[in-house]
Amino acid sequence: MISLKKNLAGKFALLLIALVLVITNCLNIRPAGATPLLKNKTIETPLAAFEGIYQNKINTFSYFKITVAGATLLAKQMDGDRQIILTRKSEFGFEMKDDDGDETIPVTFSKNDAGEIIGLVVADKDHWVKVKEYIPVKEVTLTADQLKAFAGKYKFEEKDDAYLQITATATGLILKQLWDNREINFVAISDVDFLNKQDAFPLKFTKDSAGNVTKVLAFNRDLWDKVKE
């Protein structure tokens, strides 16, 4: 009878230990100092490794500074007000909300052979490079006649019914999108280059051999032809 009680007690103890292990695993309870688990994988790269300044590979005027914010990363636009929260999903994978906040966009960091973070890609197509410092652009002063030379109506080369109206101001240019009447201010950074710092929006004008403005390139990708009036 005593032997039977001992056997039952032993089996109960083993069952209790197994139950504790199952509960611990389900709750992801880990020893103090252990690296946290994410999707059942051990994360070895600390969030601090991703901190730094990142420059857009195409639009080199666009910079974001990334810092740790609790359990997430915070990307803040340099020379602007935009802030983006990056939520970790894997070792080097994060996600961010779109401008409307109803969809998520993947953000993937990359590293070199030494294990150092060297850049990131947004939505598998928008490449950013980690740089040592932010270099702000310097404004230049153009004369009233120089600024007036850029004024006029411009047509998008890829769409017949899309037009811009550009006018000169005392210190720069105003671009008006004629499809929605939105106006954007620009300052001169060279004799043919202008920039809206808030949106890191660059304009680059082209002149013919006679010095007449013929085109403008927006965001280093969209070409607009000046309309002869």
pLDDT at 36: 52
pLDDT at 79: 86
The CATH classification number of 144-226 equals 2.40.128
Contacts of 75 (CB under 8 A, 6+ apart): 54, 64, 65, 66, 83, 84, 85, 86, 96
Same topology between domain 37-131 and domain 144-226: yes
Specify the CATH class of 37-131 in words. Answer: mainly beta
Beta-sheet pairing, 37-38 with 52-56: unpaired
| Residues of the chain under the 70 pLDDT cut | 1-41
Query: Could you tell me the residue ranges of all domains in the chain?
Result: 1-34, 37-131, 144-226
Contact 53, 131 (CB under 8 A): yes
Model confidence, pTM: 0.76
pLDDT at 38: 55
pLDDT at 72: 98
Distance CA 1, CA 76 (A): 73
* Structure-token pair, residue 20: 């504790």
